[in-house]
A and B are shown apart, each in its own frame.
Chain A
Amino acid sequence: ILNVEQSPQSLHVQEGDSTNFTCSFPSSNFYALHWYRWETAKSPEALFVMTLNGDEKKKGRISATLNTKEGYSYLYIKGSQPEDSATYLCALANNYQLIWGAGTKLIIKP
């Protein structure tokens, strides 16, 4: 059974600070790795889909890296803002479906 682990489970960060968290997955038979942001009372929203080892993607203050050989991805947020408060989900893709991690809940303290 494939397992996707995210750490930490939750994180409190001061506004303006930068932060990062981890997604770990089995490195064999890698297909793609997804990151989503899920704000309270809203629907998950796609951030990145990464497929190549060494991939780095960026969207504004948020970026992600991928290491398929060792089975991890990092999500970085630079200069956290209150609107970054959300649960960040990663998901490992096979051909047809995503295996979801439990998420990292990020709370930005003003």
Chain B
Amino acid sequence: DSGVTQTPKHLITATGQRVTLRCSPRSGDLSVYWYQQSLDQGLQFLIQYYNGEERAKGNILERFSAQQFPDLHSELNLSSLELGDSALYFCASSAGGGGYEQYFGPGTRLTVT
């Protein structure tokens, strides 16, 4: 158990809908990262927050947004969902920036029908 929690574990929704994925980092960690893993693909970095501020952005679509709250939990919002958004979404946390190891949550499996 990494100490990172993600909810929900599974989500099934229809195209065009909007969903919110939630992540609670490990106690004491200030950084939260969001990743997408599509079928047979590697980890795609989406976005990173550090202590409430956005610090780095990867291949995140404009339909996706995220935020980190004062209690350090983070939410990833996915809107106008398309079939291709079906994927496993991981959240990871770390104590700081790139020099710190990341602890991954169990992931949220999103299926768009």
A44 touches which of B31, B43, B48, B97 (Cβ 8 Å): B43
Binary CB contact string for chain B from 96 to 111 against chain A (1 if under 8 A, 0 otherwise): 0111111111110000
- A43-B2, A43-B90, A44-B43 in contact; A97/B98 too (CB < 8 A)? yes
Q: Are B102 and A46 in contact (CB under 8 A)?
A: yes
Q: Are B48 and A96 in contact (CB under 8 A)?
A: yes
Question: Considering the chains assembled together, what is the distance between the CA atoms of A46 and B101 in angstroms?
Answer: 6
Query: Nearest Cβ distance between residue B74 and chain A, in whole angstroms?
Result: 15
Chain A residues positioned under 8 Å from B48 (CB to CB): 96-97
Q: Are A49 and B101 in contact (CB under 8 A)?
A: yes
Which chain B residues numbered 1 to 52 have a C-beta less than 8 Å away from chain A?
Answer: 2, 31, 33, 42-43, 45, 48, 50
Count A-side interface residues using an 8 Å CB cutoff.
Answer: 22
B107 touches which of A32, A43, A99 (Cβ 8 Å): A43
Which chain A residues numbered 46 to 65 have a C-beta less than 8 Å away from chain B?
Answer: 46, 49, 51
Judged by a CB distance under 8 angstroms, whether B84 is at the interface is no
Chain B residues positioned under 8 Å from A95 (CB to CB): 97-98
Chain B residues positioned under 8 Å from A44 (CB to CB): 43, 90, 92, 102, 104
Q: Are A31 and B98 in contact (CB under 8 A)?
A: yes
Q: Are B56 and A96 in contact (CB under 8 A)?
A: yes
Chain B residues positioned under 8 Å from A46 (CB to CB): 101-103
Q: Are A49 and B50 in contact (CB under 8 A)?
A: no
Binary CB contact string for chain A from 81 to 110 against chain B (1 if under 8 A, 0 otherwise): 000000001000111111111110000000
Name 12 interchain pairs, CB-CB below 8 A, sorted by A: A36-B102, A43-B2, A44-B90, A46-B101, A51-B99, A96-B55, A97-B48, A97-B58, A98-B98, A100-B42, A100-B43, A101-B42
**Chain B residues in the interface with A (C-beta under 8 A):** 2, 31, 33, 42-43, 45, 48, 50, 55-56, 58, 90, 92, 97-107
**Chain A residues in the interface with B (C-beta under 8 A):** 31-32, 34, 36, 43-46, 49, 51, 89, 93-103
